[in-house]
A = this chain, B = another copy of it.
Amino acid sequence: MTHDLKFSYAQLSTTLANYLAPYFDKHKAQQLAAIFTEAEFDGITTHGLKRFPRFIEEIEKNMVNTQNQPSIEFQSAGWMLINGKQGPGPLSAAFATEQAVTLAESSGIALVGLKNTNHWLRPGHYAKTAAQQGCAFISWTNTLANLKAHGSEAGSAASLGNNPLVIALPASPDPIILDTALSQFSYGKIQHYMENNEPLPVPGGYDKEGDLSTDAESIFNNLSASAIGWWKGSGLSIMLDLLAAMLSGGQSVNEISKNPGEQNVSQVFIAIKLEKLWGDAYHDRLAELQSQMRASGLHWPGQSLARNRKHHDENGISVAASTWQAVLNAVHDTGTPA
């Protein structure tokens, strides 16, 4: 198979749900398939099919326990603690988001901490879900240590997480969504420049001497990507990690990095029900703020998602033959009917 493939949303999500069927009950397989498919249709290909083989691999290695359900361990008026019990990260994150949105209905603002969970795939998915229910939403996860702290010794190991952060507001018709890691570039992006023998457009890591560098290969090989804003992003990364550990009761970047692979990460989900303050008027106010941004020539985060989605809904999406082959290999290797 050397040609790119084309899928409609229904085709891709049904196919992926079938591939996941040996591991999950029907509803969960469909929910997971939808999260992978939505990433592709929203144009976030880094967190769609490219991560599918790794997800299957983590199941096969028992890093992701397919049968475990998240359980609620603590609840106060506005704060809930959920134990993900090493279950599938996207399902636990979706459950945590649902709980945060529901809690916010009564308390205005709600915080859900999720501990012992796995990679949640695309953070923007949960932000979109919460925003579609009228919530402002702030959420983040910690990760394996994969960022070099600014000012750390030359040649020392990565000690910070890129700790992806997502912030959303329920604008109409499409939510405003910032979905970003704290690394200036993802390793996927750095690898892309490396393979094209191109330097990064701005410094994105440190060389062996500890100086800021645009050398993609050196940064990739030395796991020495830098945080946004150097010392500033390093500090922000530390704070999001400490907050994630303290607000979920879970593991810190340092502790996660001692696990085999990236397991038992800690996540935070904060939902704020705008109706509590604004009634229905929040729609108009958000539209007014968007109109101001338009007048200033500003683009707001996530503005391209709706455009991508519309295009893909109308035309289907193209999947590179190599990407699809990797999906097939993952499910073939494991005896999944394909």
On A, residues with C-beta under 8 Å from B are: 74, 76-79, 81, 106-111, 113, 136, 138, 149, 151-153, 156, 159-160, 167, 169, 176, 178, 180, 182, 184, 202-203, 212, 227-230, 232-233, 235-236, 238-239, 242-243, 245-247, 249, 252, 254-255, 270, 272, 274, 276-278, 282, 285-286, 289, 292-293, 295-301
Q: Is the CB of A242 within 8 A of B289?
A: yes
A interface majority secondary structure: mixed
Interface contacts beyond A109-B270, A180-B236: sample of 18 additional A-B pairs, CB < 8 Å, sorted by A: A77-B107, A78-B107, A136-B246, A138-B243, A149-B297, A151-B299, A159-B296, A159-B297, A178-B239, A180-B232, A180-B235, A238-B293, A246-B285, A246-B286, A246-B289, A247-B272, A249-B277, A249-B278
CA separation between A145 and B285, bound complex, in Å? 20
Distance A151 CA – B301 CA, assembled complex (angstroms): 13
Contacts of A230 in B (CB 8 A): 202, 228
The contact sample of 30 A-B pairs, CB cut-off 8 A, is: A76-B108, A78-B107, A79-B276, A81-B277, A111-B272, A136-B243, A136-B247, A149-B297, A149-B298, A153-B297, A156-B297, A160-B298, A167-B239, A169-B239, A169-B242, A169-B243, A178-B236, A178-B238, A178-B239, A182-B229, A184-B232, A227-B229, A229-B229, A235-B300, A238-B298, A245-B285, A246-B278, A249-B278, A254-B293, A254-B296
Chain B: minimal CB distance from A248 (Å): 9
List residues of chain B with CB within 8 A of the CB of A233. Answer: 228-229
Whether the Cβ atoms of B232 and A298 lie closer than 8 Å is no
Interchain CB contact under 8 A, A301 and B169: no
Contact yes or no, A232 B242, CB < 8 A: no
Given contacts A113-B277, A159-B296, contact A178 B79 (CB under 8 A): no
* Among all A-B residue pairs, the 4 with the closest Cβ atoms: A228-B229, A79-B108, A76-B108, A77-B107
